[in-house]
Amino acid sequence: MQTRPPWALLALAASFVGGMVARSAYPQNPPPPKIVLVTSMKVQPSKVDRYLELEQKTWKPLHQARIKAGNGRSWSLYAARFPSGTSTSRDYLTINVFDSMQEFDKYEESLGKVLPQVYPGNSADQLISETGAVRDIALEELWIEIDRVDRE
């Protein structure tokens, strides 16, 4: 009868534990796909400061309230560095991430509910008009995640 070296039993135990860890790290039911709303803006060059002020001091608190109420996962503001030049179609992007289409639908309806809580006495029309005076929406897209690989 052949005896196993002592390290073989240790390797077998480590393989079992490693398999259990891997199984818990990669659940059988993966998380639902993310829904991403990408809004591209073209900002009038003379009004960049006002646009950024509106996004950061006015819209950001609204998005925070929407997310806190369960109407989205995240909101981000990005400045486009490339491409550049006078014929570019966008200068800034906002990205809203949702866990499902149902969450996106709730988000679409939430501005009228959240606005009075964050800014009592202000109307959505007024805020949208003020923002529209400094930027145009160049393109708005809704992306649905199909697949992904994450860093381990």
Q: Is residue 151 part of a domain?
A: no
Confidence of residue 79 (pLDDT cuts 50, 70, 90): very high
Q: Is residue 22 part of a domain?
A: no
- HEC profile of 47-106: HHHHHHHHHHHHHHHHHHHHHHCCCCCEEEEEECCCCCCCCCCCCEEEEEEECCHHHHHH
Q: Is residue 112 part of a domain?
A: yes
Confidence of residue 152 (pLDDT cuts 50, 70, 90): confident
Confidence of residue 5 (pLDDT cuts 50, 70, 90): low
Q: Is residue 117 part of a domain?
A: yes
Q: How many domains does the chain have?
A: 1
Range of the domain at 131: 35-144
Q: Is residue 15 part of a domain?
A: no
Are the C-beta atoms of residues 131 and 59 closer than 8 Å to each other?
A: yes
Q: Which CA distances in Å does 18 have to 15, 21, 27?
A: 5, 5, 14
Q: Is residue 17 part of a domain?
A: no
Are the C-beta atoms of residues 11 and 102 closer than 8 Å to each other?
A: no
Give 11-49 pLDDT, tens digit per residue.
444 454 455 444 445 556 666 668 999 999 999 889 999
Domain CATH code at residue 106 = 3.30.70.100
Q: Is residue 150 part of a domain?
A: no
Are the C-beta atoms of residues 110 and 13 closer than 8 Å to each other?
A: no
Q: Is residue 107 part of a domain?
A: yes
